[in-house]
Amino acid sequence: MRRNKSTMKVSRQERALQVVNFICMTVAVFLCMYPFWYLIIYSLSDPAQASRGVWLLPKGFTIYAYQWIMENTNFGHAFLISTSRTLINTVLCLLGSSLFAYLVTQRDMIARKFIYRFVIITMYLGAGLVPYYITMKSYHLNNSYLLYIIPGILNAYYVILIKTFIEQIPASLEESARMDGAGFFKVYARIILPLSKPIIATVAVYASVGAWNSWQDNYLLAQSPKLQTVQLLLYNCINQAQVLADSMKQGLVQAPGAVALSAETIKMATTIVAVLPVMMVYPFLQKYFVKGVMMGAVKG
């Protein structure tokens, strides 16, 4: 009964607002999703038909562009580099940042404030591209896989997020463990880490997306093709349209049943392949992303 009454109360204005709102949201969703969809259908279409326009579904379905990428580029290797750096980076970053965050919550620590600020300031004080470049070079990290691993171990922003979270854990839990004779590392591993799971998950998501998307280190400091990441492969692929087109001329000599390729199709397929890992895990991890923003609203 009550329900009926309240539905009746919904005024005309409110209903109109609902409709307008629904339209606005649908447009927003469309603007955000259609570009991805367009690239997917285009890259799955026969290039000759696609160049005349595809809108909703692939025309002349073919996965030849994807096959071509697998066979003719370094994609497999780049994928391995990107995936491995993402995994190693994330794990080390989580360990380093959480251990340091827990350390600076210890009130007994001598020079605690100074040490914490010493780390946090780096968030605001960037040296710039060239100083970064010559520093990394002077450490001989250029053209080395370690370039992808070492700089990401401690991140000031993640330290703030984790520290804020740890401070909300009841101190009594830690104290009683201490009474039972557990040392610093034992408390960290057995109590702090398990209880910080939500924020650890959030930071893990940020760190892994960041690692997957990073390319500057690769571009500036690691020219060796052995160290090429998926992002840089995509960058090169987009920028070498002409070279690509030339190298594909052989492919264009049509063997019976073979489909021609175009530079456009290749580029779009590569873009999709580079973004696919993020798109696949994103819907499942979205709540952790959001949690980080809420936490980030709390200042360091």
Partner 1 sequence: MQGRGEESLLVRRLGRRRVRGLKYTLLAVPFVIYIFAMNYVPLIGWLYSVFDYKLGQRFLDFGNMVFVGLDNFKKLYNERSEVMRVLRNTLVMSGLGLLATPLPVVFAILFNEIKGKHFKKFVQTTTTLPNFISWITVYGIAFAFFSVNGFVSTVLRQFGIEPSPTGILGDVDKVWFLQWFLGIWKSFGWSAIIYIAAIVGIDSELFDAARVDGADKLQTIWHITVPGILPTYVVMFLLAVSNILTNGFDQYFMFYNPLVADRIEVLDYYVYKVGFIINDYPYSITLGMLKSLLSIALLFTANGLSKKIRGDAIV
Write down the least CB distance from residue 176 to partner 1, Å: 17
158 lies in the binding site for partner 1 (CB under 8 A): no
Which of 4, 7, 11, 242 is close enough to bind partner 1 by CB under 8 A?
11
Q: How many CB atoms lie within 10 A of CB 183?
A: 9
Q: Which is nearer to partner 1, 41 or 200 (CB)?
A: 41
CA distance to 80, 110, 151, 173, 205, per residue, from 227 (Å): 10, 42, 16, 45, 23
Listing DSSP states for 154-209 in one string gives --HHHHHHHHHHHTTS-HHHHHHHHHTT--HHHHIIIIIHHHTHHHHHHHHHHHHH
- The answer to whether 152 touches 92, Cβ cutoff 8 Å, is yes
Which 186-215 residues touch partner 1, going by CB under 8 A? Answer: 209, 212-215
> For residue 75, which of 258, 295, 188, 232 has the smallest C-alpha distance?
232
Which 92-111 residues touch partner 1, going by CB under 8 A? Answer: 96, 100, 103-104, 106, 108-111
Rounded Cα distance, 233 and 110, in Å: 48
Which of 153, 169, 177, 245 is close enough to bind partner 1 by CB under 8 A?
153
134 lies in the binding site for partner 1 (CB under 8 A): yes
Which of 19, 171, 189, 290 is close enough to bind partner 1 by CB under 8 A?
290
Rounded Cα distance, 146 and 221, in Å: 11
Q: Which is nearer to partner 1, 16 or 258 (CB)?
A: 16
Write down the least CB distance from residue 256 to partner 1, Å: 28
Write down the least CB distance from residue 153 to partner 1, Å: 7
- The answer to whether 221 touches 133, Cβ cutoff 8 Å, is yes
161 lies in the binding site for partner 1 (CB under 8 A): no
* Assigned token pair, 227: 């160290």
38 lies in the binding site for partner 1 (CB under 8 A): yes
Sign of CA dihedral 161, 163, 167, 169: positive
Write down the least CB distance from residue 170 to partner 1, Å: 20
Which of 7, 138, 172, 254 is close enough to bind partner 1 by CB under 8 A?
138
Q: Which is nearer to partner 1, 81 or 256 (CB)?
A: 81
Which 244-273 residues touch partner 1, going by CB under 8 A? Answer: 264, 267-268, 270-271
181 lies in the binding site for partner 1 (CB under 8 A): no
**Candidate ranges 31-39, 168-176, 194-202, 253-261; the one touching partner 1 (CB under 8 A):** 31-39
Sign of CA dihedral 277, 282, 283, 284: positive
Rounded Cα distance, 182 and 194, in Å: 15
What is the size of the binding site for partner 1 (CB under 8 A)? 87
49 lies in the binding site for partner 1 (CB under 8 A): no
Rounded Cα distance, 35 and 80, in Å: 27
Residue 172 C-beta-side C-alpha neighbours within 13 Å: 1
Write down the least CB distance from residue 21 to partner 1, Å: 5
Which 58-87 residues touch partner 1, going by CB under 8 A? Answer: none
Q: Which is nearer to partner 1, 128 or 256 (CB)?
A: 128
Looking up tokens 């696609």 gives 50
Q: Which is nearer to partner 1, 244 or 255 (CB)?
A: 244
How many DSSP H helices and E strands does the chain contain? 18, 0
238 lies in the binding site for partner 1 (CB under 8 A): yes
